[in-house]
Amino acid sequence: MTTRQIAIYDTTLRDGTQGEGVSFSLQDKLNICQRLAEMGVDFIEGGYPLSNEKDVAFFEQVRELDLGKSLVCAFGMTRRRGIAAEADPGMLALARAATPVCTVVGKSWDFQVTEIINAGLDENLQMIGESVEFLARSSQVVYDAEHFFDGYKANPNYSLSTVLAAAQAGAKWLSLCDTNGGSLPSEILKTVRAVAEATKKYDLQLAIHCHNDGDLATANSLAAVQAGCNQVQGTINGIGERCGNADLIAVIANLALKLDGYQLLGGRSLEQLTELSRYVYETANLQLRNSQPFVGQSAFAHKGGMHVHAVNKAAHTYEHLDPSLVGNERRILVSELSGRSNIIALTTKHNLQSDRKLMDQILAEVVSQENCGYQYEAAEASFDLLVKRSAGSFTPHFETIKYRIVSGDRDVLGHQAFAEAIIKLRVGDSEIFEAAEGHGPVNALDSALRKCLGSVFPSLEKMYLVDYKVRVVNGEAGTAARIRVNIESSDREHVWRTIGVSENIIEASWLALVDAVEYKLLLDEGHL
């Protein structure tokens, strides 16, 4: 079987930033560009050098990066009406960017030509041809045929004439854009084949650029590849305007791991795919999409007892591929839906799985706690402590005698608030009493707890809080609702999550804090 090379064209730094809530600093863009190059991405679109100073600076500074074989692309539009390409500010900005590749977008839908940019149909063809010809003097040109599939449905002859104008002018790639994201795979397949036939005498290749408004961007991209496209455009995690772009994470994984006859990313392993996905989320300050295929935290998570029982025997019964191939991992969840198989899978490290009576006891405790509002899926440290308590192998390092929070306004007019925590603990045969102020009651509690225990357990100095989340469990109860608090902690070597539930937010926070500290001390002692 002949292997086709499929080029990956990433537009996270340009099209991705059009998504709601997405913004990258100059350094963010440079960092992401470097990561994409390390992954083996063929084309990295950096932005529009005429639109803002940040993009101009990007194209200047990106030259200093070692990007291997990855090619940086500058993006722009065809020349304006009535202006020669050599004099058009947009064309000149693209030329000044001095990138090895220039991507220029033009109109392929006759309606857009006459009604949106108010140009004549022949004039539009001239704008396309002259723009591509000008840029092709110094760069490889990708012609983005905007709204191509909508235009082809309305007037196939004219849409074909627009891409032929680009081909005749020297474009190396024709990117067919499903700009509105409303096409179906069958339509993509048929249209791409028609374009391939119409352009077969030219020295160029076809590309696909899909948006996800019909939730079909990945399927449409794969259909286009099967129809003859040798380049796929999209963004990491599918970020972009409206419903986003084709998610390159899913496109890459499907092409490399699911379909035969294709090679991409220079044949590199995909083990860094999950890390790349999460890096972009973090850089963009976006929440991870847990259910995201291949790389989401829930992509290989198993909760139902029957499923876990089957996965323990043969993983492929409920997993379409080995999660390690994309750098992800299997997760076994525990909840009221769990069976003994879940508990056995999660307690393997405690060497308790042979005790069926204990497994049933742990499961019963989980069900009881979840009825009270606990949820251990995102609190594995608290679950480990529950297991050790049920097994009778847990000895607390300290006991809470009492704690009290005082908070209020120190200066009402100046809006200066204060919070104080007073804690009394028993550690061994000693009682320790401390107080601390903090930025809010939970921070004050944390500070006072550390003051109490710091001299006895000095390793707690290396522990810090990463995240703190509060959620109402039963909102119908109003101000008497039960509160769930999740805390994520780290000591730079480990990360662990704990939970506390109460009708009192301070008590819920205290329970989660205590579990976090106890877990850290058990880690230090090598008991986990």
143-186: pLDDT as tens digits:
999 999 999 999 999 999 999 999 999 999 999 999 999 999 99
Task: Record the tokens describing residue 243, joined without a space.
Answer: 């419903």
Q: Render 1-27 in DSSP notation, one character per residue.
A: -PPEE-EEEE-TTTTGGGSTT----HH
Q: Please tell me the distance from the alpha carbon of residue 253 to that of residue 423, in angstroms, as a whole number.
A: 52
β-pairing verdict for 495-502 and 483-490: antiparallel
Q: Please tell me the distance from the alpha carbon of residue 238 to that of residue 246, in angstroms, as a whole number.
A: 5
Number of Cβ within a 10 Å radius of residue 196: 15
Instruction: Confirm if 229 and 218 have CB atoms less than 8 A apart.
Output: no
Mean pLDDT, to the nearest integer, of 24-43? 93
Q: Which of 522, 510, 526 minimizes the C-alpha distance to 385? A: 522
Position 494 scores a pLDDT of: 85
φ, ψ at 392 (rounded to 5°): 75, 20
Sheet arrangement for strand 416-427: 399-411, 416-427, 430-437
- Model confidence at 462: pLDDT above 80: yes
Position 319 scores a pLDDT of: 65
Position 316 scores a pLDDT of: 63
- Model confidence at 337: pLDDT above 80: no
Instruction: Confirm if 89 and 76 have CB atoms less than 8 A apart.
Output: no
Mean pLDDT, to the nearest integer, of 18-45? 92
Q: Please tell me the distance from the alpha carbon of residue 155 to that of residue 501, in angstroms, as a whole number.
A: 62
Top pLDDT among 220 and 481 is at: 220
In this structure, what DSSP letter does residue 425 have? E
β-pairing verdict for 331-332 and 262-263: unpaired
Number of Cβ within a 10 Å radius of residue 238: 25
Q: Over the stretch 362-402, which tens digit does the pLDDT of each residue have? A: 878 877 887 788 877 678 899 889 888 888 888 999 999 99
CA distance from start to end of the chain: 50
Top pLDDT among 347 and 144 is at: 144
Q: Over the stretch 63-108, which tens digit does the pLDDT of each residue have? A: 999 999 999 999 999 999 989 999 999 999 999 999 999 999 999 9
Average pLDDT over the chain reads 88
Position 349 scores a pLDDT of: 59
Q: Over the stretch 248-277, which tens digit does the pLDDT of each residue have? A: 999 999 999 999 999 999 889 898 898 899
Position 244 scores a pLDDT of: 94
Mean pLDDT, to the nearest integer, of 513-526? 93
In this structure, what DSSP letter does residue 137 have? T
Position 371 scores a pLDDT of: 77
Please give the radius of gyration of the chain, using alpha carbons only, rounded to the nearest integer. 29
Question: Residue 392: left (phi > 0), alpha (psi -120 to 50), or beta?
Answer: left
Task: Band the pLDDT of 342: cuts 50, 70, 90.
Answer: low
